[in-house]
Amino acid sequence: MKKAKQPGAWISISVFALIMLSQAEKINAQSTTKLPGLFYDSHFHLTNYVQEGITVQRFLQIMGNDVQRSTLFGIPLQQQWSYGNSGNFAPTYYLASDAPLYYYSFTDAFIAMAYKALPAKDQVKFDPMITGFNPADMYAADHIRRVLKTFPGVFSGIGEFTIHKEFVSSKISGEVSSLINPALDSVLSLAAEAGLVVLLHNDIDMPFPKPGQKPYLLEQMGSLFRRHQNATIIWAHCGLGRIVRPVKEQLAMLEDALTDPQLKHVSIDISWSEVAKYIVATPETISATAALINRFPDRFLFGTDEVSPADSKAYMAVYNTYQPLLEKLTESAREKVLKGNYARLFDAARIKVRAWEKAHAGN
Protein backbone atom coordinates (compact mmCIF):
# COMPACT_ATOMS: atom_id res chain seq x y z
CA MET A 1 0.00 0.00 0.00
CA LYS A 2 1.32 3.40 -0.98
CA LYS A 3 2.41 5.43 2.02
CA ALA A 4 1.10 8.92 2.57
CA LYS A 5 3.82 11.52 2.15
CA GLN A 6 2.53 13.57 5.06
CA PRO A 7 0.96 11.16 7.55
CA GLY A 8 1.46 13.69 10.31
CA ALA A 9 -1.13 15.94 8.71
CA TRP A 10 -3.73 13.22 9.11
CA ILE A 11 -2.97 12.34 12.73
CA SER A 12 -2.58 15.84 14.20
CA ILE A 13 -5.64 15.43 16.37
CA SER A 14 -3.71 15.58 19.66
CA VAL A 15 -2.73 12.95 22.18
CA PHE A 16 -6.25 13.18 23.55
CA ALA A 17 -7.63 11.20 20.61
CA LEU A 18 -5.23 8.33 21.19
CA ILE A 19 -6.10 8.21 24.87
CA MET A 20 -9.76 8.17 23.93
CA LEU A 21 -9.25 5.01 21.86
CA SER A 22 -9.23 2.74 24.89
CA GLN A 23 -11.99 4.72 26.60
CA ALA A 24 -14.20 4.56 23.52
CA GLU A 25 -13.82 0.80 23.44
CA LYS A 26 -15.49 0.69 26.85
CA ILE A 27 -18.12 3.31 26.05
CA ASN A 28 -19.17 1.65 22.79
CA ALA A 29 -18.89 -1.92 24.02
CA GLN A 30 -22.65 -2.36 23.90
CA SER A 31 -23.69 -4.71 21.12
CA THR A 32 -25.31 -3.61 17.89
CA THR A 33 -27.82 -5.78 16.10
CA LYS A 34 -25.88 -7.88 13.62
CA LEU A 35 -26.85 -7.35 10.00
CA PRO A 36 -26.06 -9.93 7.31
CA GLY A 37 -23.00 -9.66 5.09
CA LEU A 38 -19.60 -8.02 5.47
CA PHE A 39 -20.62 -4.47 4.56
CA TYR A 40 -23.21 -2.27 2.84
CA ASP A 41 -21.70 -0.11 0.11
CA SER A 42 -22.52 3.57 0.55
CA HIS A 43 -20.61 4.61 -2.56
CA PHE A 44 -20.75 2.60 -5.80
CA HIS A 45 -20.62 3.61 -9.48
CA LEU A 46 -22.19 1.17 -11.94
CA THR A 47 -20.82 3.10 -14.95
CA ASN A 48 -17.72 5.14 -15.76
CA TYR A 49 -16.86 8.49 -17.37
CA VAL A 50 -18.03 7.33 -20.80
CA GLN A 51 -21.21 5.73 -19.39
CA GLU A 52 -19.97 2.18 -19.83
CA GLY A 53 -19.75 -0.55 -17.22
CA ILE A 54 -21.09 -3.82 -15.93
CA THR A 55 -24.75 -4.75 -15.71
CA VAL A 56 -26.56 -4.62 -12.40
CA GLN A 57 -27.07 -8.39 -12.74
CA ARG A 58 -23.31 -8.83 -12.96
CA PHE A 59 -22.87 -6.59 -9.93
CA LEU A 60 -25.25 -8.81 -7.97
CA GLN A 61 -23.01 -11.78 -8.77
CA ILE A 62 -19.96 -9.84 -7.59
CA MET A 63 -21.72 -8.80 -4.37
CA GLY A 64 -22.65 -12.40 -3.59
CA ASN A 65 -23.55 -12.92 0.06
CA ASP A 66 -20.80 -10.60 1.30
CA VAL A 67 -22.58 -7.37 0.34
CA GLN A 68 -26.30 -7.38 1.03
CA ARG A 69 -27.02 -3.72 0.14
CA SER A 70 -25.49 -1.00 -2.00
CA THR A 71 -26.12 2.41 -3.44
CA LEU A 72 -26.39 2.45 -7.22
CA PHE A 73 -25.43 5.35 -9.44
CA GLY A 74 -23.47 6.22 -12.52
CA ILE A 75 -21.23 9.22 -13.05
CA PRO A 76 -23.00 12.46 -13.93
CA LEU A 77 -20.21 13.57 -16.24
CA GLN A 78 -19.30 12.38 -19.72
CA GLN A 79 -15.73 12.68 -21.00
CA GLN A 80 -15.86 14.15 -24.49
CA TRP A 81 -13.90 12.34 -27.20
CA SER A 82 -12.34 15.23 -29.07
CA TYR A 83 -10.60 14.01 -32.21
CA GLY A 84 -8.63 17.23 -32.35
CA ASN A 85 -7.20 16.47 -28.91
CA SER A 86 -6.60 12.70 -28.81
CA GLY A 87 -7.14 11.51 -32.39
CA ASN A 88 -8.15 7.87 -32.55
CA PHE A 89 -7.42 7.37 -28.86
CA ALA A 90 -10.77 7.11 -27.08
CA PRO A 91 -10.42 8.40 -23.49
CA THR A 92 -12.44 6.62 -20.83
CA TYR A 93 -11.24 8.63 -17.83
CA TYR A 94 -11.08 12.34 -17.11
CA LEU A 95 -7.29 12.32 -16.70
CA ALA A 96 -6.81 10.70 -20.13
CA SER A 97 -7.73 13.74 -22.19
CA ASP A 98 -7.65 17.54 -22.20
CA ALA A 99 -11.13 17.59 -23.73
CA PRO A 100 -13.94 18.88 -21.50
CA LEU A 101 -16.50 17.01 -19.44
CA TYR A 102 -20.22 17.68 -19.73
CA TYR A 103 -23.27 16.70 -17.68
CA TYR A 104 -24.99 13.52 -18.87
CA SER A 105 -28.57 13.52 -17.58
CA PHE A 106 -29.53 10.23 -19.20
CA THR A 107 -27.55 8.44 -16.49
CA ASP A 108 -30.58 8.71 -14.18
CA ALA A 109 -32.94 7.02 -16.63
CA PHE A 110 -30.33 4.34 -17.29
CA ILE A 111 -29.94 3.56 -13.59
CA ALA A 112 -33.71 3.62 -13.05
CA MET A 113 -34.39 1.18 -15.88
CA ALA A 114 -31.60 -1.14 -14.73
CA TYR A 115 -33.13 -1.17 -11.25
CA LYS A 116 -36.69 -1.67 -12.50
CA ALA A 117 -35.58 -4.68 -14.58
CA LEU A 118 -34.64 -6.53 -11.39
CA PRO A 119 -37.06 -8.79 -9.53
CA ALA A 120 -38.38 -7.38 -6.25
CA LYS A 121 -36.13 -9.67 -4.19
CA ASP A 122 -33.08 -8.02 -5.75
CA GLN A 123 -34.41 -4.46 -5.86
CA VAL A 124 -34.47 -4.32 -2.08
CA LYS A 125 -30.68 -4.64 -2.09
CA PHE A 126 -30.17 -1.33 -3.89
CA ASP A 127 -30.62 2.36 -3.21
CA PRO A 128 -30.40 4.15 -6.57
CA MET A 129 -29.25 7.77 -6.55
CA ILE A 130 -29.97 10.71 -8.86
CA THR A 131 -26.77 12.25 -10.25
CA GLY A 132 -27.50 13.68 -13.70
CA PHE A 133 -27.94 17.34 -12.78
CA ASN A 134 -25.72 20.41 -12.96
CA PRO A 135 -25.41 21.86 -9.43
CA ALA A 136 -24.62 25.27 -10.96
CA ASP A 137 -27.97 25.31 -12.79
CA MET A 138 -30.97 26.93 -11.11
CA TYR A 139 -33.07 24.26 -12.88
CA ALA A 140 -31.17 21.42 -11.13
CA ALA A 141 -33.87 20.92 -8.48
CA ASP A 142 -36.47 20.71 -11.25
CA HIS A 143 -34.51 17.88 -12.83
CA ILE A 144 -34.53 15.98 -9.54
CA ARG A 145 -38.29 16.48 -9.11
CA ARG A 146 -38.86 15.30 -12.67
CA VAL A 147 -36.82 12.14 -12.12
CA LEU A 148 -38.71 11.31 -8.91
CA LYS A 149 -42.07 11.74 -10.64
CA THR A 150 -41.02 9.79 -13.74
CA PHE A 151 -39.57 6.89 -11.76
CA PRO A 152 -41.54 6.67 -8.49
CA GLY A 153 -40.43 3.97 -6.10
CA VAL A 154 -36.85 3.91 -7.35
CA PHE A 155 -34.54 6.57 -5.90
CA SER A 156 -33.36 7.07 -2.32
CA GLY A 157 -30.93 9.95 -2.71
CA ILE A 158 -28.86 12.27 -4.87
CA GLY A 159 -25.18 11.86 -5.65
CA GLU A 160 -22.43 11.32 -5.78
CA PHE A 161 -22.28 14.79 -7.28
CA THR A 162 -19.32 17.14 -7.26
CA ILE A 163 -18.77 20.77 -6.38
CA HIS A 164 -14.98 21.09 -6.05
CA LYS A 165 -12.83 18.18 -7.23
CA GLU A 166 -9.19 18.19 -8.26
CA PHE A 167 -8.77 18.23 -12.07
CA VAL A 168 -12.50 17.64 -12.62
CA SER A 169 -14.26 20.91 -11.77
CA SER A 170 -12.11 22.97 -14.13
CA LYS A 171 -12.81 20.58 -17.03
CA ILE A 172 -16.60 20.83 -16.91
CA SER A 173 -18.18 22.87 -19.70
CA GLY A 174 -20.14 25.93 -18.60
CA GLU A 175 -20.30 27.67 -15.25
CA VAL A 176 -18.06 26.33 -12.49
CA SER A 177 -19.95 24.84 -9.54
CA SER A 178 -19.72 26.62 -6.22
CA LEU A 179 -20.66 26.08 -2.59
CA ILE A 180 -22.13 29.59 -2.50
CA ASN A 181 -24.32 29.23 -5.61
CA PRO A 182 -28.06 29.45 -4.77
CA ALA A 183 -28.62 26.65 -7.28
CA LEU A 184 -26.96 24.28 -4.81
CA ASP A 185 -29.11 25.64 -2.00
CA SER A 186 -32.23 24.81 -3.99
CA VAL A 187 -30.97 21.25 -4.52
CA LEU A 188 -30.33 20.70 -0.82
CA SER A 189 -33.65 22.29 0.11
CA LEU A 190 -35.45 19.83 -2.16
CA ALA A 191 -33.43 16.94 -0.72
CA ALA A 192 -34.57 17.91 2.77
CA GLU A 193 -38.19 18.28 1.64
CA ALA A 194 -38.27 14.93 -0.18
CA GLY A 195 -36.11 13.01 2.30
CA LEU A 196 -33.34 12.24 -0.19
CA VAL A 197 -29.90 11.30 1.16
CA VAL A 198 -27.26 13.68 -0.22
CA LEU A 199 -23.85 12.26 -1.19
CA LEU A 200 -21.65 15.26 -1.88
CA HIS A 201 -18.06 15.35 -3.10
CA ASN A 202 -16.19 18.50 -2.14
CA ASP A 203 -12.43 18.60 -1.71
CA ILE A 204 -11.22 19.93 1.59
CA ASP A 205 -8.54 22.03 -0.10
CA MET A 206 -7.09 22.96 -3.46
CA PRO A 207 -4.29 20.92 -5.05
CA PHE A 208 -0.78 22.00 -4.11
CA PRO A 209 -1.71 24.78 -1.63
CA LYS A 210 0.95 27.19 -0.47
CA PRO A 211 2.33 26.55 3.04
CA GLY A 212 0.11 28.08 5.70
CA GLN A 213 -2.68 28.84 3.24
CA LYS A 214 -6.07 28.40 4.93
CA PRO A 215 -8.52 26.25 2.94
CA TYR A 216 -11.34 28.65 2.02
CA LEU A 217 -13.54 25.68 1.09
CA LEU A 218 -13.91 24.65 4.73
CA GLU A 219 -15.69 27.86 5.70
CA GLN A 220 -17.94 27.78 2.64
CA MET A 221 -18.84 24.13 3.15
CA GLY A 222 -19.59 24.60 6.84
CA SER A 223 -21.86 27.52 6.02
CA LEU A 224 -23.68 25.48 3.36
CA PHE A 225 -24.27 22.56 5.72
CA ARG A 226 -25.53 24.84 8.48
CA ARG A 227 -28.03 26.39 6.07
CA HIS A 228 -29.53 22.95 5.42
CA GLN A 229 -29.82 21.24 8.78
CA ASN A 230 -32.93 19.30 7.72
CA ALA A 231 -31.05 17.52 4.94
CA THR A 232 -29.30 14.18 5.42
CA ILE A 233 -25.80 14.76 4.07
CA ILE A 234 -22.87 12.39 3.54
CA TRP A 235 -19.57 14.12 2.84
CA ALA A 236 -17.64 11.85 0.50
CA HIS A 237 -14.04 10.78 1.12
CA CYS A 238 -13.47 13.13 4.09
CA GLY A 239 -12.76 15.70 1.35
CA LEU A 240 -9.56 13.97 0.19
CA GLY A 241 -8.23 12.93 -3.21
CA ARG A 242 -5.20 11.88 -5.18
CA ILE A 243 -3.50 15.23 -4.83
CA VAL A 244 -5.64 16.89 -2.17
CA ARG A 245 -4.00 15.58 0.97
CA PRO A 246 -5.08 15.88 4.59
CA VAL A 247 -4.83 19.45 5.79
CA LYS A 248 -3.01 20.32 8.98
CA GLU A 249 -5.00 19.10 11.98
CA GLN A 250 -7.25 17.03 9.68
CA LEU A 251 -8.77 14.86 12.39
CA ALA A 252 -9.10 17.79 14.77
CA MET A 253 -11.08 19.56 12.05
CA LEU A 254 -13.33 16.53 11.66
CA GLU A 255 -13.71 16.35 15.42
CA ASP A 256 -14.87 19.98 15.49
CA ALA A 257 -17.48 19.22 12.85
CA LEU A 258 -18.68 16.08 14.60
CA THR A 259 -19.16 17.91 17.90
CA ASP A 260 -20.94 20.88 16.30
CA PRO A 261 -24.69 20.59 17.10
CA GLN A 262 -25.49 22.42 13.86
CA LEU A 263 -23.78 19.68 11.85
CA LYS A 264 -25.35 16.61 13.44
CA HIS A 265 -27.10 15.89 10.12
CA VAL A 266 -23.74 15.40 8.37
CA SER A 267 -22.02 12.02 8.11
CA ILE A 268 -18.67 11.15 6.53
CA ASP A 269 -17.81 8.30 4.22
CA ILE A 270 -14.34 6.76 4.12
CA SER A 271 -14.74 5.40 0.61
CA TRP A 272 -12.04 5.22 -2.08
CA SER A 273 -8.60 3.64 -2.18
CA GLU A 274 -7.06 7.12 -2.25
CA VAL A 275 -8.50 7.86 1.19
CA ALA A 276 -7.36 4.49 2.48
CA LYS A 277 -3.74 5.28 1.63
CA TYR A 278 -3.77 8.13 4.16
CA ILE A 279 -5.65 6.30 6.89
CA VAL A 280 -3.62 3.07 6.84
CA ALA A 281 -0.29 4.76 6.11
CA THR A 282 1.19 4.11 9.57
CA PRO A 283 0.20 2.55 12.90
CA GLU A 284 -0.25 6.10 14.20
CA THR A 285 -2.69 7.16 11.47
CA ILE A 286 -4.67 3.96 11.96
CA SER A 287 -4.93 4.41 15.73
CA ALA A 288 -5.82 8.10 15.54
CA THR A 289 -8.53 7.51 12.93
CA ALA A 290 -9.94 4.58 14.88
CA ALA A 291 -10.06 6.74 18.00
CA LEU A 292 -12.17 9.34 16.22
CA ILE A 293 -14.54 6.79 14.69
CA ASN A 294 -14.96 4.98 18.01
CA ARG A 295 -15.98 8.30 19.58
CA PHE A 296 -18.49 9.04 16.81
CA PRO A 297 -19.56 5.62 15.48
CA ASP A 298 -22.92 6.90 14.22
CA ARG A 299 -21.32 9.41 11.84
CA PHE A 300 -19.15 7.31 9.52
CA LEU A 301 -20.02 5.03 6.60
CA PHE A 302 -17.91 2.64 4.57
CA GLY A 303 -18.04 2.62 0.79
CA THR A 304 -15.84 1.21 -1.93
CA ASP A 305 -16.14 3.99 -4.55
CA GLU A 306 -15.47 1.26 -7.08
CA VAL A 307 -16.36 2.02 -10.69
CA SER A 308 -17.78 -0.96 -12.57
CA PRO A 309 -15.40 -3.59 -11.10
CA ALA A 310 -14.59 -6.56 -13.29
CA ASP A 311 -14.72 -9.15 -10.53
CA SER A 312 -15.02 -9.77 -6.81
CA LYS A 313 -11.29 -9.37 -6.20
CA ALA A 314 -11.31 -5.86 -7.64
CA TYR A 315 -14.50 -4.98 -5.81
CA MET A 316 -13.28 -6.16 -2.40
CA ALA A 317 -9.86 -4.48 -2.65
CA VAL A 318 -10.80 -1.32 -0.71
CA TYR A 319 -12.53 -3.30 2.04
CA ASN A 320 -9.46 -5.50 2.40
CA THR A 321 -7.17 -2.45 2.50
CA TYR A 322 -9.14 -1.06 5.44
CA GLN A 323 -8.74 -4.16 7.59
CA PRO A 324 -6.06 -2.61 9.86
CA LEU A 325 -8.49 0.21 10.67
CA LEU A 326 -11.53 -2.03 11.06
CA GLU A 327 -9.64 -4.22 13.52
CA LYS A 328 -9.06 -1.17 15.74
CA LEU A 329 -12.76 -0.32 15.92
CA THR A 330 -14.99 -1.60 18.67
CA GLU A 331 -17.41 -4.32 17.60
CA SER A 332 -20.30 -1.90 17.89
CA ALA A 333 -18.56 0.87 15.92
CA ARG A 334 -17.44 -1.55 13.22
CA GLU A 335 -20.99 -2.83 12.73
CA LYS A 336 -22.35 0.70 12.46
CA VAL A 337 -19.68 1.92 10.03
CA LEU A 338 -19.95 -1.12 7.79
CA LYS A 339 -23.73 -1.65 7.83
CA GLY A 340 -25.78 -0.07 10.58
CA ASN A 341 -25.43 3.58 9.61
CA TYR A 342 -26.21 2.79 5.98
CA ALA A 343 -29.36 0.92 6.96
CA ARG A 344 -30.49 3.70 9.31
CA LEU A 345 -30.04 6.54 6.79
CA PHE A 346 -31.31 4.80 3.69
CA ASP A 347 -34.22 3.00 5.35
CA ALA A 348 -35.46 6.38 6.56
CA ALA A 349 -34.92 7.87 3.10
CA ARG A 350 -36.96 5.13 1.41
CA ILE A 351 -39.94 5.89 3.64
CA LYS A 352 -39.71 9.67 3.29
CA VAL A 353 -39.14 9.71 -0.48
CA ARG A 354 -42.00 7.29 -1.15
CA ALA A 355 -44.29 9.53 0.93
CA TRP A 356 -43.14 12.61 -1.02
CA GLU A 357 -43.74 10.85 -4.32
CA LYS A 358 -47.24 9.85 -3.26
CA ALA A 359 -48.05 13.39 -2.11
CA HIS A 360 -46.85 14.86 -5.43
CA ALA A 361 -48.21 12.22 -7.81
CA GLY A 362 -50.00 13.86 -10.72
CA ASN A 363 -48.84 17.38 -9.77
pLDDT at 19 over 80: no
Domain for residue 61, yes or no?
A: yes
Question: Sign (positive/negative) of CA torsion 21, 24, 26, 29?
Answer: negative
Q: Assess if residue 192 is contained within a domain.
A: yes
Helices (H), 195-235: 216-227
Given pLDDT bands bounded at 50, 70 and 90, which one contains residue 56? very high
User: pLDDT at position 25, please?
Assistant: 47
* pLDDT higher than 70, residue 67: yes
Q: Could you tell me the CA-to-CA distances from 64 to 15, 38, 314 in Å, in that order?
A: 41, 11, 14
Q: Is position 162 within any domain?
A: yes
Name the E strands within 243-298: 266-269
- When pLDDT is cut at 50, 70 and 90, the band that residue 210 belongs to is confident
**Where would I find the beta strands (DSSP E) of 276-346?**
300-301, 306-307
> Within 13 Å of residue 319, how many CA atoms lie on the same side as its CB?
25
State which residues form the domain around 154.
7-81+89-359
Which phi and psi angles does 58 have, rounded to 5°? -65, -40
**Does any domain span residue 21?**
yes
CATH number of the domain encompassing residue 171: 3.20.20.140
pLDDT band, residue 97 (cuts 50/70/90) = very high
Determine the straight-line distance between the first and last CA of the chain, rounded to whole angstroms: 53
* 1 domain residue, yes or no: no
Beta strand residue intervals within 73-223, DSSP E: 77-79, 101-103, 126-130, 157-162, 197-201
- Whether pLDDT at 40 is above 90: yes
Average pLDDT on 36-65 reads 97
Q: Looking at residues 202-207, what average pLDDT do you find?
A: 85
Share of the chain above pLDDT 70, in %: 91
Whether residue 2 lies inside any domain: the answer is no
pLDDT digits (tens, 9 = 90+) for 179-200: 999 999 999 999 999 999 999 9
Predicted pLDDT of residue 152: 98
* Domain presence at residue 335: yes
The predicted pLDDT at position 11 comes to: 55
In a domain, 237, yes or no: yes
Beta strands in 23-145 (DSSP E): 39-41, 44-45, 67-72, 77-79, 101-103, 126-130
Q: pTM for this structure? A: 0.90
Answer yes or no: is pLDDT of 4 > 70.
Answer: no
Number of other CB atoms surrounding residue 31 within 10 Å: 9
pLDDT (mean) for 56-66 = 98
Q: Which of 302, 296, 333 is nearest to 70 (CA)?
A: 302
**314 Cβ contact list (under 8 Å, min separation 6):** 306
Q: What is the pLDDT of residues 307-329, one digit of tens each?
A: 999 999 999 999 999 999 999 99
Domain count, the chain: 1
Q: How confident is the model at residue 213 (pLDDT cuts 50, 70, 90)?
A: confident
